[in-house]
Amino acid sequence: MDKLRAVLSGRDGNNDNRNVLQAANEASTLGWGKRVKGFLICMVIGVVCTILGVCCLFIPKIGVIIFIVFYTFGNLCSLLSTMFLMGPLKQLKRMCDKTRAFATVVMLTCLVLTLCAAFWWKIFALTLLFVILQVLAFAWYSLSYIPFARDAILKFFSMLFTMCVK
């Protein structure tokens, strides 16, 4: 009984410093080669789904729905692909970091709202709006991983705006 209690509490008797999460993390880690392969496979699936969605956009009547499904699935695969490189816990921590938390929430909300607008509400204009917001949110989220990229984009658009106002 003591052995069972020790194992369930994270102490297996051999190493008292290891807990269950550390043991699970060590057991589930992938080598660098497998991580890169997983990343590439997920990223290729994401890009192919996005391209297929755009190609299906011109099918009469059902093209928009197929586009939305493929495009959203492609974005999810692209997002999940980075989890292979960093690991899921580290990626989730980075997604919730103070510099990207807002972009993450907007991006994931737009993914869900795009599907809701297409399948439940069946409002084409709203669906299109959420797809556009999904593109912008995913781009803004992606730019957060490039140092000073967001600042450069904001500065560019502020200069453009001041030139247009004059």
Q: Which two tokens mark 9?
A: 């509490």
pLDDT tens column, 80-116: 998 888 888 888 999 999 989 999 999 999 999 999 9
> Would you say residue 57 has pLDDT above 90?
no
What is the structure's pLDDT at 107?
A: 93
Rg of the Cα atoms in the chain = 21
Alpha helix positions (H), the chain: 2-8, 20-28, 32-56, 63-86, 88-95, 101-116, 124-143, 149-165
0.75 exceeded by pTM: no
- The domain spans of the chain are 1-30, 31-165
Q: What whole-number distance in Å separates Cα of residue 52 and Cα of residue 123?
A: 22
Q: What whole-number distance in Å separates Cα of residue 51 and Cα of residue 70?
A: 8
What are the angstrom distances between the C-alpha of 108 and each of 6, 43, 95, 114?
Answer: 40, 18, 11, 10
